[in-house]
Amino acid sequence: MFGPVAPDSKLVRALGAVQCLLLAALAAPLGAQDSVVIVPDTPACATCSLTVSAVVELGDHEGPGIVAQLNAPYALARVVRSDDGDYYVPGYLGDGRLLRFSSDGVFQEAIGRRGEGPGEYSLPVLVGGRADDLTILDVLSPRLTTIRGGEVATWRLPFRFDGLDVFPDGRQVYNALSSEADRTGHPLHVYDPASRRITRSLGDEGFRTVRMDPGITEVRRRVAVAADGNIWAARSNRYRIDKWSPDGDRIARIERDATWFRPWEKWLGVDYEVRPLPAIVGVRDWGDGLLMVVVRLADANWQPIAPTLEPVPGHATIEPTQGDELYDTVIEVLDTRSGTVLAHTRVDERVVGLVGRDGFCTYAEHSDLGEPKYVVWSVTLSGYAR
C-alpha cells in the first residue's frame, strides 16, 4: 500500500525513496521447479495497450483542505482510497490531521490532531475502511488507530515497517523487521489487528538485521495481497517478485532481466546529483493472472539540479515539484500464467505511490507559492482477451 520513501528518495537521504522473465510455475514450491520461460523483447499481446489518465486532484489552494507538502519529514505522506471511494491525505505541515476528500476531490473533513494520545497522530495515513469505520496508521510512531461508531482505540505496532497491504478479512501484511528471536530475518509479517499480534512471519532468505534502514535493500519489499489470497512481495532494487502463501510457502518467483532495470545493491548518490537507479514502487494483482508492476526510473532527459532548499539544517535539497525532472514512471502488466509481458508504457511523471487496485499518484503544486496537491491517475488495459 505504502511505506517510507524508497532509497531513491532525496528526502530520506537528506534526513539521514521485456527481456527475460524467469517464472516458476504457480502450482509448486519454487525449489521443486526448474523451468523458465524466455520472454521476447516486445510485449506478447500485439493488441494490448495501457492508458494512463488523470482522475482527480487532491488538496485545496487555501483553507482546511491544504495537504502535506512532499518534503522532509513529510515525504512519507500517501494518498489512500477508502472502501467507499473517498480519498485520504495527511494534512499540511504535520498538524496530525488526516483529510478526507470525496471521489471528485472536494474536501469533506479533517480527522484527528497532533499528539500521542488516542486519535492523535504525527503523520496519519489511512489503512482501510469507510467513513464510519476507519483504520489509521501513524507512520512515524508506528501506531494503529481504529475509529468505529465514535469509539477510538489506539495501540503500538510490534515492529518498524516499510509497507503494507490488507487482506479482505482485515488482516494486514507488512514489510517489517521484528526483534523477536523467532521472527528475525523474516521481511514479511501477517498481522491480526483484532488480536493485536503477528500470526505468521515469512520470506526469510538468510539475511539478518534488526534495522529497517532505507539503505538495506535485502529486506525491503513492496507487498500486495493477491487475488487468490496469497502475497506478492517485490524487491525494490531488482525486478524480482515472489509469491508467498500466508503460511510461509514460496509459491512462485518472477524475475525479469530488463535492459532498463539492472539489479543494484547500493544507491550511488542523491538523485539530483547522480542519475537515479530504477526501483519498483509497487505491484497490484488484477485477478485472472494479471499483475501490474509500477517502476520509478531516471527521466529520459535527466540532468543534475542544483539544490535550493534546506528543510533540515546542513542538508540542502531541491523543490518537491522538481522530482518530475528527475524521474519517469514505467508501468507493465504481466500475465503470470504464461510468463509474458502483455503491455508496457512509460510516462513523464514521478510516481509517489500506488492508489487502490489500478492507480498511482504524483505530486504537484497549485502555484509558485508552493501550495501542494496530489494527482491521482488510473491505469487501464485495452485490447486483452484471455
DSSP code, position 358 = T
Whole-number percent of the chain with pLDDT over 90: 63
Please state the rounded mean pLDDT for residues 289-316.
90
Q: Which of 144-158, 167-181, 321-335 has the lowest mean pLDDT?
A: 167-181
Nearest to 275, CA basis, from 300, 298, 305: 298
pLDDT at res. 310:
79
Separation CA 107–CA 128 (nearest Å): 18
Nearest to 40, CA basis, from 307, 322, 344: 344
> Would 5 be classed as within a structural domain?
no
- Joined together, the cell numbers standing for residue 11 give 528526502
> Would 132 be classed as within a structural domain?
yes
pLDDT at res. 268:
86
> Would 2 be classed as within a structural domain?
no
Domain of residue 291, residue span: 10-382
Separation CA 191–CA 128 (nearest Å): 14
Judging by beta carbons within 10 Å of its beta carbon (0-12, 13-18, 19+), is residue 151 exposed, middle or buried? exposed
> Would 4 be classed as within a structural domain?
no
- Joined together, the cell numbers standing for residue 335 give 500475465
pLDDT at res. 150:
86
Judging by beta carbons within 10 Å of its beta carbon (0-12, 13-18, 19+), is residue 49 exposed, middle or buried? middle
Please state the rounded mean pLDDT for residues 167-190.
88
Model confidence at 148, pLDDT cuts 50, 70, 90, reads very high
CATH number at residue 26: 2.120.10.30
Q: Which residues pair with 154 in a beta bridge?
A: 145
Q: What is the β-pairing status of strands 49-58 and 372-382?
A: antiparallel
Q: What one-letter code names the amino acid at 65?
A: G
Report whether pLDDT(340) > 50. yes
Report the range out of 35-39, 203-207, 209-213 with the highest average pLDDT: 203-207
Report whether pLDDT(213) > 70. no
> Would 117 be classed as within a structural domain?
yes
> Would 3 be classed as within a structural domain?
no
Report whether pLDDT(293) > 50. yes
- Joined together, the cell numbers standing for residue 206 give 538468510
Model confidence over 75-85: pLDDT tens digits?
677 899 999 99
pLDDT at res. 152:
96
- Tell me the average pLDDT of the chain: 85
Q: Which residue has the higher pLDDT, 273 or 208?
A: 273
Q: Which residue has the higher pLDDT, 265 or 28?
A: 265
pLDDT at res. 188:
96
Give the total number of structural domains in the chain. Answer: 1
Please state the rounded mean pLDDT for residues 25-39.
39
> Would 125 be classed as within a structural domain?
yes
Q: Which of 53-57, 133-137, 158-162, 378-382 has the lowest mean pLDDT?
A: 158-162
pLDDT at res. 27:
33
Q: Which helix (H) or strand (E) holds 11?
A: helix 10-15
Please state the rounded mean pLDDT for residues 117-143.
94
> Would 285 be classed as within a structural domain?
yes
Report whether pLDDT(10) > 50. no
Q: Which residue has the higher pLDDT, 282 or 323?
A: 282
